[in-house]
Structure formats: structure tokens, C-alpha cells
Amino acid sequence: MVTTPLLPSDYLDLVSPLRAGADLRGRIEAVHPETGDAASIVIRPGRGWRGHAAGQYVRIGVDVDGVRLWRAYSITSPTNRQDGRVTITVKAIPDGKVSNHLVREAKPGTLIQLDQATGDFVLPQAKPAKVLYLTAGSGITPVMGMLRDTEFDDVVMVHCAPQPHDVIFRSELHDLVADKKLRLTEVHTDTDGMLDIARLDDLVPDWAERETWACGPAGLLDAAEEHWTEHGVQERLHTERFRPSIVVAGDGGEVTFSTTGKTVDADGATPLLDVGEEAGVLMPSGCRMGICFGCITPLKAGAVRDLRTGEITEAEPGVLIQTCVSAAAGPCDIER
Ligand SMILES: Cc1cc2nc3c(=O)[nH]c(=O)nc-3n(C[C@H](O)[C@H](O)[C@H](O)COP(=O)(O)OP(=O)(O)OC[C@H]3O[C@@H](n4cnc5c(N)ncnc54)[C@H](O)[C@@H]3O)c2cc1C
């Protein structure tokens, strides 16, 4: 009664936000610029943090202009970091709300929401004899988490970035090369052009024998999956995507967010999460690529299309949809 309308835990949150038993949070303790548009954020997780496996990602909730936005970031620190802190490394993308906020405005002391680390882009228990890391742009992040975590006898990395100064972690990678812990080929796409996957035969002649972890833009990953499959070694390729592969789009429709009372026209290719956010509707979100289910929302009426498969879901009592990978398939009503 004394603390109403707040709860006693709300007061505890003020003095001890990272305590055991509180919602999992983290405190930003440092921000280290990596390149002109990327920075590593050092986070002290709360007591409930259960650790991570190299290559996994964490969902973080950040307040940007008063709105809590959730995004996924790969963990770039090793699992055995002595001080218990973790790092993520974020590349600011044009018009990106969270990435620009983290790279350019995040300040030590800021509290963020955290989820437990998750993801199956991880190293196996048994060490493979030969490893290939194939990365591009910010796709280097989960692999850096692996490189910092586990040493292998024979590791080759092919990394693509527009120019040398865009290569995140470049000096650390070159130190590993100098220590003979890594063989590295940098592809500078501004001068060399995009990596033609067939060039791997020259760059890494034994690529097909290597257990491979690849992360980068969809074009690179699609080409790699096709190439590994054509050569019958697809089980050696592990990929991590930062965005869903949108393969199917159809006709859109009028979308009603009945709780908020907003109605907008949407095309058949834009995820309903983006449609809602654009209309100013408070939408739950997570990985924004259909893997974490942080965005699920009841579909009250109408139909939506899964942009990855083309599958249509029609409204029925209790039907939930993933708004980050679903677009309007005719008029529909989303319970937000
Ligand atoms: C498993 C996983 C791990 C990830 N790890 C990292 C990481 O380690 N480092 C990192 O920088 N990012 C990572 N991401 C991407 C990250 O979650 C965000 O998508 C990214 O930071 C953009 O968010 P934003 O709020 O700045 O952009 P938004 O405001 O959401 O989008 C702005 C514009 O950019 C487009 N866009 C959104 N995401 C991307 C993208 N990834 N590439 C190109 N265009 C995009 C949108 O369609 C929109 O037009 C990861 C994503 C996943 C799913």
C-alpha cells in the first residue's frame, strides 16, 4: 500500500537493477569505436545471466526516443572473459534506429534489457581439423566471438568489406595472422568487386574439406549454400543470417491495428512489424528475422503471408503470427 502504484521491486530496481531475481538487464560500461561506423559495446549483465556459447547472439532492448526497441546482436567476447562482462559489436546501417543509437549515442551507465544468449551458430564439441570462416561486413561478429574463444590448428578466414578501413577488428585479425593462428584473405569489394564464390577454389583450395561458418549478407550466404550443396558438402556449412530471406511477396491489403485504432494500406512485401512501427503502433519485436518469436501477435481477422515460404495464415481464434516475417495478404486485423 505504501508504494502503490509502484511495487517494492520498482524501488529495488532503482538501487540494484542488476540484482538476482530482477528482470534480466545489463549496464553499458564502455563503448569502443571499431571503425567509422561500428563500435563494440561492453555490457555488465545482471546476476541472472547464464553465459553464452561462442557464436551465439543476445537480444537487447534499448530505449530510443522513449520507445523500447529490441534487436539481436552476436556476442563478440570470449566465453571465459574473467570480468564477467560481454561485448556486442554493432555496425550502424543507414536509417537504422538501434544501430545508430548504439554506435553514436550510447553512454556508459545506460541500462538495457537483456535476454539470455541463444542461437545454434556455434562450434561443435569435437574440434574440426580444418576450419574456414567466410564473412562479410558486420557478419564478422559471431566469428570474432569464436576466434577469441577457441583456437584451432588450421583456420582460414575470407572476409569481405568495401575497403581496408571498413574491416572490423582488422588489427586484431592481423595480430592473429602474425602469431600464425590464422590465415586471412581480405576481399575489398570497392576495388576487387563482390566475392564470386567460385574464387574460393583459388583462395582456399581445400575449402570443401573445411568445417565452415559463414555470416554476411543474403547474397553471399545464398551463393555459399548453393555452392556447398552443388559439391555435396552442405553438412560442413553453417550459416548465420542477420535478416530473413524474403522469397515470396503477394498482394497487400488494408491493415487494421484494432487496439490502437489505426488503419493503413500495406503492400504484400513489407513485414507487418515495419507497417505497425511506421504507423506509430507499439509493436513487440525481437530478432526481426523469424527466429525468436519475440514479435508474435494475435491475428484477429483476415489473412497474412509468411514472406519466407509464401504460406498463408487465416485468422482463427488463438492464431498468433510472427509480424517480422508476415505481410498482409488482403485486409487483416492485428491485435495491437
Ligand atoms: C541473430 C542476429 C545477430 C545479429 N548480430 C549483429 C551484430 O553482431 N552486429 C550488427 O551490427 N548487427 C547484427 N544483427 C542485426 C541487428 O539485429 C539489426 O538488424 C541491425 O542493427 C539494424 O537494426 P536498426 O534498428 O539499426 O535498423 P532498423 O531501424 O530496424 O532498419 C533500418 C533499415 O535498414 C534495414 N535493415 C534492417 N536490418 C538490416 C541489416 N542487418 N542489414 C541491412 N539492412 C538492414 C531495414 O529494412 C530498414 O530499411 C543481428 C541480427 C540477427 C538476427
For ligand 1, atom 31, name the residue with the nearest CA.
Answer: 96
For residue 176, what pLDDT is reported?
A: 98
Indicate if 228 and 307 belong to the same structural domain: no
Q: Is the CB of 138 under 6 A from ligand 1?
A: yes
Containing structural domain, residue 297: 253-334
Indicate if 76 and 149 belong to the same structural domain: no
- Rounded Cα distance, 100 and 216, in Å: 19
Q: Is 247 within the bounds of a domain?
A: no
For ligand 1, atom 36, name the residue with the nearest CA.
Answer: 96
Indicate if 18 and 80 belong to the same structural domain: yes
| 8 has a pLDDT exceeding 80 | no
pLDDT band, very low/low/confident/very high, at 7 (cuts 50, 70, 90):
low
Indicate if 143 and 198 belong to the same structural domain: yes
Residue 181 DSSP label? S
Indicate if 215 and 259 belong to the same structural domain: no
Q: Is 126 within the bounds of a domain?
A: no
Indicate if 212 and 263 belong to the same structural domain: no
Q: Is 102 within the bounds of a domain?
A: yes
For residue 2, what pLDDT is reported?
A: 65
- Rounded Cα distance, 176 and 59, in Å: 29
Phi, psi dihedral angles at 55 (to 5 degrees): 100, -15
* Domain count within the chain: 3
Indicate if 226 and 312 belong to the same structural domain: no
For the segment 74-90, the average pLDDT, to the nearest whole number, is 96
Q: Is the CB of 224 under 6 A from ligand 1?
A: no
For the segment 59-76, the average pLDDT, to the nearest whole number, is 92
Indicate if 259 and 227 belong to the same structural domain: no
The CATH number assigned to the domain holding 259 equals 3.10.20.30
Q: Is 199 within the bounds of a domain?
A: yes
Q: Is the CB of 242 under 6 A from ligand 1?
A: yes
The CATH number assigned to the domain holding 147 equals 3.40.50.80
Q: Is 12 within the bounds of a domain?
A: yes
Return the best residue to mutate from 56, 71, 267, 325 for the ligand 1 pocket (most ligand atoms within 8 A of CB): 71
Of residues 99 and 67, the one with the higher pLDDT is: 99
Question: Of 218, 240, 262, which residue is a domain's last?
Answer: 240
Question: Of 240, 270, 287, which residue is a domain's last?
Answer: 240
- At 244-278, the pLDDT tens digits run 877 777 899 999 999 999 999 999 999 999 999 99
Question: Of 89, 114, 139, which residue is a domain's last?
Answer: 114
9 CA to middle of ligand 1, Å? Answer: 33
Return the best residue to mutate from 93, 138, 148 for the ligand 1 pocket (most ligand atoms within 8 A of CB): 93
For ligand 1, atom 39, name the residue with the nearest CA.
Answer: 243
- At 115-154, the pLDDT tens digits run 999 999 999 999 999 999 999 999 999 999 999 999 999 9
Indicate if 84 and 138 belong to the same structural domain: no
Indicate if 137 and 103 belong to the same structural domain: no
Listed residue (67, 68, 91, 77) closest to 45, CA to CA: 77
Q: Is 123 within the bounds of a domain?
A: no
Cell of 8: 517494492
Q: Is 195 within the bounds of a domain?
A: yes
Q: Is 248 within the bounds of a domain?
A: no
The CATH number assigned to the domain holding 23 equals 2.40.30.10
Q: How far is CA 169 from the centre of its chain?
A: 18
102 CA to middle of ligand 1, Å? Answer: 12
Q: Is the CB of 93 under 6 A from ligand 1?
A: yes
State the closest ligand 1 atom to the C-alpha of 73, by its place in the atom list counted from 1.
5
| 34 has a pLDDT exceeding 70 | yes
Percent pLDDT > 70 in the chain is: 95
Listed residue (279, 271, 281) closest to 326, CA to CA: 271
18-22, 195-199, 216-220: range with lowest mean pLDDT: 18-22
| 5 has a pLDDT exceeding 80 | no
